[in-house]
Structure 1
Amino acid sequence: MTIGIYGLGRFGLFWAGKMASLGRVVGYNRTPRRFPPSIELVPLDGLSECDVVFICAAISAIPQVAKDLSAVLRPGTLVMDTCSVKEFPLASLVRYLPEQIDVIGTHPMFGPDSADSSLHDLPMVVTPTRGSDSLVQEWADRFSSLGMRVMVMSPEDHDREAARTQGITHFIGRLLASLDLKPSPMGTLGFKKIFEVMEQTCNDPWQLFLDLQQYNPHTKEMREQMVGKFDELIQVLSGLSDNSTHDDGLTEK
């Protein structure tokens, strides 16, 4: 089996390494640059050799990627995205890829930072889109064989759940980063944990954060709920301040 990787950024290089145990891996990147010698580079039309192509590109880039691939892939090829949002990219792939191209959505709920040493028990979402049930099961079994914990769900269910897990985590991480927080020798365990969240989320591309917030139809509602709850807490604290007598016990008798 020949596996193609479209997009050799930080995640694409990571994913190419993980897929190498399943077959021959080749990679294509739109922007030419120097890659590790372990990566077998091919031009765009070289992906026509592949049995399966994983798209490791920004969510916002998927429509153009689908158009690029539609010109070179042969009938019967399987295309899988790896996006953190499912409804928008899968709709784009179905729209722009010929009907003879199978499509399965995937979302590895991890990346180079959290899965460098092992894939054991890390969550992997599989979203059936266009293709047979047996094909979906075949790849779910392959992911399981690599140690991943596979969950099969619809694009809508994925995006609703992701908005309140990954979406909120990235939002809070970027918010904390904007406060210019620094490690502190007096930092509590709780502070260290939120600092880790900030570091991990900010290690991902800024475009990923923007796309998570823009292309998941449920993240706007999540943000609005957060702002509402923030305002409620501020009102509670303001009420405490307004009701305080500030008696310091030093009034002259």
Structure 2
Amino acid sequence: MVATKFLLAVLLFCTIPAMNSSMRIGVYGLGRFGSFWARELVKHGFTVVGYGRSAKQAPEGVVLGTEDEVLTCDVLFFCVSISAFAQVLQNTASRIGPSTLVMDTCSVKLYPAKKMRELLPSCVRTIATHPMFGPDSGKDGVAGLPMVLCPVNCPKKDFQFWVDEFKNWKLQVIEMTCDQHDREAAWSQGITHFIGRTLSELNLQDTKLATTGYRTLMSIVEQTCNDPLQLFYDLQRYNPYARQMRMGLKGSLDTVMQVLKEQEKIV
């Protein structure tokens, strides 16, 4: 009995890469994140076809394909900027295979989910995703990092397949609605990028007097400003809760400034 169970476990383990390799994954957009994401998919046993408008070569292990080849893969990840997503989807919707499962990777979720519902045929399955990491945070591996999945127009079994798949990557898989994602992201990712870009305007420099707290602030500037400036703009424009976050931040700053002003009167 023990030997039989062991044999079954070995057979199951051996079939996982084969199952993944038989599924063709398309990555549309081979910029900094798209190239990183395509490599991660290859690492986990998938056959990956990549397309980028100006890409001359694909990342190692990825097949450089035509636009139409990528659009008709079994699964299609759009790795384009938030602001470009609607136009790209409009230009490609009619050529996406009817059996293709489409996923975006935008850092906001309500907007791309809305566009996928509007522009794609109802027969096309869709999932909104947000890998909350990138080439910098994932350079030493993605295990333990958060991956958000929001069902849009997808059968439960297809959605569960990807939940299980990403859990096999040791990712911290978070299932939530698009609205919940954007509400929470405005006060986490959105505020971090806003503060990072604001601090960068001060042109802060390294100093021998740097405390641990100061070094943490400098690391925020480095992390956020290493991302494209367009990402910062898009996070603030396309997340409906970002303005509320900025107003809250401004109100808090005004309160602290007023308290300091009152203290100055005492001196």
Any idea what SS the aligned residue of 2:258 has? helix
Matches of 1:48 and 1:166 in 2, distance apart?
Answer: 30
Q: Paired residue for 2:35?
A: 13
Which of 133, 136, 155 is the equivalent residue of 2:156?
133
Note the C-alpha offset of 1:67.
Answer: 1.6
Q: Paired residue for 2:53?
A: 30
Note the C-alpha offset of 1:116.
Answer: 1.1
Note the C-alpha offset of 1:37.
Answer: 5.3
Note the C-alpha offset of 1:182.
Answer: 1.2
User: 2:93 touches 2:119 (CA, 8 Å); kept in 1?
Assistant: yes
Matches of 1:131 and 1:216 in 2, distance apart?
Answer: 23
User: 2:125 touches 2:154 (CA, 8 Å); kept in 1?
Assistant: yes
Note the C-alpha offset of 1:38.
Answer: 3.9
1:239 aligns to 2:262 (yes or no): yes
Amino acid at match of 2:83: S
Q: How does 1:1-253 map to 2 (within 5 A)?
A: 1-20=23-42, 21-36=44-59, 38-244=61-267
Any idea what SS the aligned residue of 1:71 has? helix
Percent pairwise identity: 45
Q: What TM-score do you get using the length of structure 1 for normalisation?
A: 0.93
Note the C-alpha offset of 1:200.
Answer: 0.3
Amino acid at match of 1:2: R
Matches of 1:157 and 1:136 in 2, distance apart?
Answer: 18
User: 2:105 touches 2:131 (CA, 8 Å); kept in 1?
Assistant: yes
Amino acid at match of 1:81: D
Matches of 1:12 and 1:92 in 2, distance apart?
Answer: 20
Note the C-alpha offset of 1:22.
Answer: 3.5
Note the C-alpha offset of 1:69.
Answer: 2.5
Note the C-alpha offset of 1:243.
Answer: 1.9
- The number of residues matched between the two structures is 244
User: 2:39 touches 2:60 (CA, 8 Å); kept in 1?
Assistant: no
Structure 1 range deviating more: 234-243 or 205-214: 234-243
Structure with greater helix share of residues: 2
Amino acid at match of 2:227: D
Q: Deviations over 1:185-231 (max 9, x none)?
A: 21000000110011000000000000000000001000000001101
Amino acid at match of 1:216: N
User: 2:86 touches 2:112 (CA, 8 Å); kept in 1?
Assistant: yes
Matches of 1:142 and 1:32 in 2, distance apart?
Answer: 28
Consecutive unaligned residues of structure 1, counting only runs of 5 or more, are 245-253
Matches of 1:107 and 1:48 in 2, distance apart?
Answer: 20
Question: Aligned-pair RMSD on alpha carbons?
Answer: 1.2
Matches of 1:18 and 1:32 in 2, distance apart?
Answer: 18
**Which structure is larger by alpha-carbon Rg, 1 or 2?**
1
Note the C-alpha offset of 1:36.
Answer: 4.2
Matches of 2:57 and 2:261 in 1, distance apart?
Answer: 56
Note the C-alpha offset of 1:61.
Answer: 0.9
Note the C-alpha offset of 1:12.
Answer: 0.4
Any idea what SS the aligned residue of 2:128 has? strand
Note the C-alpha offset of 1:41.
Answer: 1.2
Structure 1 segments of 4+ aligned residues over 6 angstroms from their partners: none
Amino acid at match of 2:67: L
Note the C-alpha offset of 1:32.
Answer: 4.0
Note the C-alpha offset of 1:79.
Answer: 0.5
Change (3 A) 1:37 1:152: closer
